[in-house]
Amino acid sequence: MPEFSYRKSSYSNPEHECVEVGVGPTEVVAIRDSKRPDSPTLRVSATAWAAFLTTLHTES
């Protein structure tokens, strides 16, 4: 299993639930619950993640 380097959003508040996004050595992005870092992760391709972010930026 590849290692991921996770980071929280700059919009994250330590008192509330938030997700962390991890990038690793592969073309995979991992998403996890910041309050439960040992829980399962959602993994998507880097291409799918980029498309998701593009959609967020164009919708806002």
pLDDT digits (tens, 9 = 90+) for 25-60: 889 999 998 888 898 999 999 999 999 999 988 865
- pLDDT value of residue 58: 83
Comparing CA positions, the residue from 1, 40, 3, 47 lying closest to residue 19 is 40
For the chain, give every domain's residue range. 5-59
- Do 42 and 56 contact (CB within 8 A), yes or no? no
Report the predicted TM-score, pTM, of the whole model to 2 decimal places.
0.76
> How would you write 4-16 as a 3-class SS string?
CEEEECCCCCCCC
- Do 45 and 27 contact (CB within 8 A), yes or no? yes
What values do phi and psi take at 43, rounded to 5? -120, 130
Q: Higher confidence at residue 17 or residue 41?
A: 41
